[in-house]
Structure 1
Amino acid sequence: YPLRSPSSTNIHSNARWQQNGITVAGGNRQGNGINQLSNPSGLYVDDDQTIYVSDQSNHRIME
């Protein structure tokens, strides 16, 4: 289920992104370490630009 705030913005499913960037979550194989995710299922960015990822199989939300 997506997390939403009153000021949330919907991103169209056909949105295009520039191909330069950095990995901010995951990228270290599946697992339960502090630098790993297992079945990420949601993403939220708050008003302070803090990113939260719902890590479903590890039953946690990572900041």
Structure 2
Amino acid sequence: MVSAEKRLEKRNFTALLNSFIDYSLRSPSSTNIHPNARWQQNGITVAGGNRQGNGINQLSDPLGLYVDDDQTIYVVDRANHRIVEWKRGATSGQVVAGGNGQGSGDHQLNNPRD
């Protein structure tokens, strides 16, 4: 039998979790994109764009990205087992982690994800 205290803890946790999910999905500040943001109709390719592959100007199954304050883009290039950094205006990236085949060595990644 579950005690009243345990039921209350579970209910409080569930309410907290639901409010966090609601905040994450509804709050424009969680993604830093204004709700009335406008986008250019014709975008530009800022990373990859040279077909799938393992060249430094190619990506293979990218699964995540991060943009820092300098507008440098870090791409999780899953199938190439690497993280690639793309500086603003660059025509090719630079491997900053992995890129030495799939594995568990200090110099390798194994299907990285964000």
TM (norm. structure 1) is 0.68
Structure 1 stretches lacking a partner, 5+ long: 1-8
User: Matched residue of 1:20: which SS?
Assistant: coil
In the alignment, does 2:53 pair up with 1:52? no
Q: CA deviation at 1:20?
A: 2.8
Q: CA deviation at 1:62?
A: 0.8
Aligned length in residues: 54
Equivalent of residue 31 in structure 1, options 53, 61, 65:
53
The structure where helix makes up a greater share of residues is: 2
Higher relative contact order (CA 8 A, sep 6+): 1
Shift in CA distance, 37/11, structure 1 to aligned 2, threshold 3 Å: farther
When the two chains are superposed, the root-mean-square deviation of aligned CA atoms in Å is: 2.4
1:10 alignment partner in structure 2: 31
Write the distance in 1 (CA, Å) between the matches of 2:38 and 2:52: 26
Write the distance in 2 (CA, Å) between the matches of 1:16 and 1:36: 29
Structure 2 stretches lacking a partner, 5+ long: 1-29, 86-114
Equivalent of residue 40 in structure 1, options 53, 62, 67:
62
TM (norm. structure 2) is 0.41
Structure with higher Rg: it is 2
